[in-house]
Amino acid sequence: MDFYFLMIFIFVIAALLGFELITKVPPTLHTPLMSGSNAISGITIVGAIMAAKSGQTVLAQIIAFLAVSLAMINVIGGYMVTDRMLGSFKKKGKK
Amino acid sequence: MEYLYLLATLLFVFGIKRLTTVRTCSQGNRLSELGMLVAIIAALLISDSINWTVIIAGMVFGGGVGLFLAKRTPTTKMPELVAALNGFGGVASALVAIGSVLTESILSDPEVPMSIYGMGIVPAIATPIAILIGMVTLTGSFIAYGKLSGKKLSHPFAGGARHAFHAVLALGAIAIAVWMVTTQNPEQLTTAMIALSALSAVLGVFLVMPIGGADMPVVVSLLNSYSGVAGAFAGFVIGSPLLIVVGAMVGAAGLILTQIMCKAMNRSLSNVLLGGMGGDEAVAEDARDYTSIKQAGPEEIAMVLDGASSVIFVPGYGLAVAQAQHVVRELADLLISRDVQVRYAIHPVAGRMPGHMNVLLAESDVPYDQLWEMERINGDFKNTDVAIIVGANDVVNPAAREPTGPIAGMPILDVDHAATVVVIKRSLSPGYAGIKNPLFDNDNTLMVFADAKEALEGMVREVKDL
């Protein structure tokens, strides 16, 4: 089996998994879930790290820097905002 | 070491699963944060010939900006922030694809001419798609950001001309994409990638522009799904199973969430995307269209509340704007101490995001059992003495029951069935749907024209004086 076939294979299975993961969500959690999955889409940071190789042209280095920065904004901002939203629920749970 | 990626993926899967129930949601986000940490550490450990300067600089800069944005953004601005963050994630994926192509040594070797297509059909399809979706996500998210902040942005073309215009842009993008993957000249490849990025950015602007502000939550959710898909395609380009799996999963999950949101509004996704309702072009009605408005002040409302034994609050975006979530709770507590049954009716799309009201009311510790979803509470309005609408409009508009009209068929809260309806609103201006609300003209409706917070504070004072 070649590499590309395997990649397409896991892409399809992962998409099906994503469809199945979200079935019933209480409306309360729509926004946090959206925000939380937005933070996860910052996973592209891993691609950005892989793309930032040494010995690149200046253009490639600039692009790599932008990719890492922007993905990092998504990751840090996304998780912190989600935490802020969920924080209000947690406070109540403790009472 | 590669197994760390598997661990990260599993953490994301269980994290998302746990985010879907109230009891486990905080834990779910923790798991997903841990997954991200594991993934980043793994990437730093595994990748060879890493450019540490670029990575550390990028992480410190991006992390700082992200921290600043998340800390400084007020609760009301959170929908906008999520939109913006999503745009950043999308463009990062496009840049990963571009950067990865630029670094590919076999593409820049002058001795052996080689095109992306020559490398295989998968990168030939994935590279342009990653760039296209990533850039559309970027600019689309920023248009959504603008619309959520209340800016009116109108599309320059209407009707058939609009679709033709979009088709031309899309065909242009496809043509550039074909050129990009078939050229064997490194300079042309760079130019093509820049051209495709620019055209996709323009396309993103015009695709979101005709969609009405009221539909922005759905758009943000859909773009959220896009950024996942862009990540997955960037994963194909760079050869990372982690990106493919997590991107595809988030993309699919985002699509389902979008679908759930559309269903809550009784609309189809295509109907939303074609800008069926609430287009900013919709003619705004004004006060002249209303004939029998009855205005009331806080003291009159207090008198109405004095005789009430059941009250339902209906919060909307106005509550968020006025930051009135604490004072609404104060009034509710006051009424409860007077043996009044108090509930909150939450329309699934009240506010600027689904669940917006829940998040807001949770902030002021409104007990969970007082929050009632639309289906559960709608039959109860007829047995309710007073329904107090705080800054909501379209979600209580009886015009939705008419067979035709811009919001026909949208499920609404049946507030007009309550004995008395109090509407707190700053003016008679239309809601996001841009249409008249016949509820305001009803005989049992009292209008309080004020900022939600001031009006509620006034009512608290007056009820205390009773």
State phi, psi for A56 to the nearest 5 degrees: -90, 165
**A78: distance to nearest CA of chain B, Å?**
7
pLDDT tens profile B297-325: 888 888 888 888 999 999 988 888 888 88
C-beta of residue B32 within 8 angstroms of C-beta of residue A40: yes
CA neighbours within 13 Å on the CB side: how many for A29? 24
- Cα distances from A4 to residues A7, A11, B8, B43, B122, in angstroms, run 5, 10, 22, 21, 7
User: Within 13 A of A73's CA, how many CA atoms are on the CB side?
Assistant: 24
Contact criterion met (CB < 8 Å) for B67 and A42: no
The answer, for B373 touching chain A at a CB cutoff of 8 Å, is: yes
Contact B240 A50 (CB under 8 A): yes
At residue B426, the 3 state secondary structure works out as coil
What is residue B285's predicted lDDT score, i.e. its pLDDT?
A: 42
pLDDT recorded at residue A1: 63
CB contact under 8 A, B70 and A72: no
With a pLDDT cut of 90, the percent of chain B lying above it is: 45
Q: What pLDDT, on the 0 to 100 scale, is given for residue A70?
A: 97
A93 — pLDDT class (breaks 50, 70, 90): very low
The label of the residue with tokens 């639309």 reads B374
Residue B369 CB partners (closer than 8 Å, separation 6+): none
Q: What residues does B315 pair with on adjacent strands?
A: B390
Q: pLDDT tens digits, residue range B238-285?
A: 999 999 999 999 999 999 988 887 876 666 787 777 754 444 443 444
Q: What is the pLDDT of residue B284?
A: 41
Q: Which of B349, B311, B301 is nearest to B452 (CA)?
A: B301
Q: Which residue, among B48, B31, B38, B37, has the nearest Cα to B4 in the 3D structure?
A: B38
Nearest CA in chain A to B108: A57
For residue B166, the one-letter residue type is H
- Half-sphere exposure (Cβ direction) of B348: Cα atoms closer than 13 Å: 24
Closest by Cα among B47, B92, B29 to B66 = B92
Residues 28-67 of B with CB under 8 A from A: 28-29, 32-33, 35-36, 39-40, 42-44, 47, 49-51, 54-55, 57-59, 61-63, 65-67
Q: Which residue has the higher pLDDT, A21 or B177?
A: B177
CA B466 – CA B454 distance, rounded (Å): 19
Residue A94: what pLDDT? Answer: 43
User: How many interface pairs between A and B have CB atoms less than 8 angstroms apart?
Assistant: 387
Residue B100, min C-alpha distance to chain A (Å) = 5
Q: What is the pLDDT of residue B266?
A: 65
Give the closest-approach CA distance of B273 to chain A in angstroms.
Answer: 19
What are B418-436's pLDDT values in tens digits?
989 999 988 777 776 667 8
What CA–CA distance (Å, rounded) separates B270 from B462? 48
Nearest beta carbon to residue A54 from set B26, B51, B70 = B51
Which of B33, B230, B353 faces A79 most closely, judged by CB atoms? B33
Cα(B367)–Cα(B390) distance, rounded to whole angstroms? 18
Rounded Cα distance, B187 and B194, in Å = 11
Q: For the segment B3-48, what is each residue's pLDDT rounded down to a tens digit?
A: 999 999 999 999 999 998 888 888 999 999 999 999 999 999 998 8
Q: In degrees rounded to 5, what are phi and psi of residue B420?
A: -130, 140
- For the CA atoms of B428, B431, B437, B442, what is the dihedral angle to 10 degrees? -60
Cα dist from B125 to B139, B181, B234, B241, B250, whole Å: 22, 8, 11, 17, 20
Top-confidence residue, B214 or B149: B149
Q: What secondary structure letter does DSSP report for B284?
A: P
Counting Cα atoms < 13 Å in the Cβ hemisphere of B123 gives: 22
Cα B403 to chain centroid distance, Å, stands at: 28
Report the residue of B104, B250, B326 to disrupt the A interface, i.e. the one with the largest count of A CBs within 10 Å. B250
Residues of chain B with C-beta less than 8 angstroms from the C-beta of A66 = 58, 92, 95
A32: closest chain B residue by CA: B19
Phi, psi at B248, each rounded to 5° = -65, -40
Q: For A35-50, what is the mean pLDDT?
A: 94
Active site residue B394: yes
Task: Tell me the residues of chain A between 31 and 50 that have a Cβ less than 8 Å away from chain B.
Answer: 31-50
Question: What's the CA gap between B112 and B115, in Å, rounded?
Answer: 10
In order of their start, the domains of chain B are: 51-273 (no CATH), 287-465 (3.40.50.1220)
Q: Is the ipTM of this complex over 0.95?
A: no
What is the band of A67 on the pLDDT scale with cuts at 50, 70, 90?
very high
Structure tokens at B421: 């309806």
From the candidates B20, B30, B48, which should be mutated to test the interface with A, based on the most A CB atoms within 10 A? Answer: B20
Of B280, B365, B369, B394, the active-site residue reads B394
Q: Is pLDDT at A89 greater than 80 in this prediction?
A: no
Strand order in the sheet with B386-390: B371-373, B341-346, B310-315, B386-390, B420-425, B445-449
Picking from B54, B90, B355, the nearest residue to A28 by CB comes out as B355
What angle separates helix B3-18 from helix A30-40, to the nearest 10 degrees? Answer: 170
Which of B157-166, B350-359, B400-409 is the most confident on average? B157-166
CA distance B466 to chain A (A): 32
Look at chain A and report how many structural domains it folds into: 1
Backbone φ and ψ for B309, nearest 5 degrees, come out as -115, -10
Q: How far apart are the first and last CA of chain B?
A: 70
Q: Are B388 and B313 in contact (CB under 8 A)?
A: yes
* Mean predicted confidence (pLDDT) in B434-454: 85
Full domain range(s) for residue A69 = 3-94
For testing contact with chain B, the best of A7, A70, A88, A90 (most B CBs within 10 A) = A70
Instruction: Return phi, psi of residue B191, to 5°.
Output: -60, -45
B422: β partners:
B388, B446
Please, what is the average pLDDT of chain B? 87
The CA R_g of chain B, rounded to the nearest whole Å, is 26
Average pLDDT over residues B393-408: 81
C-alpha span between B139 and B207 (Å, rounded):
10
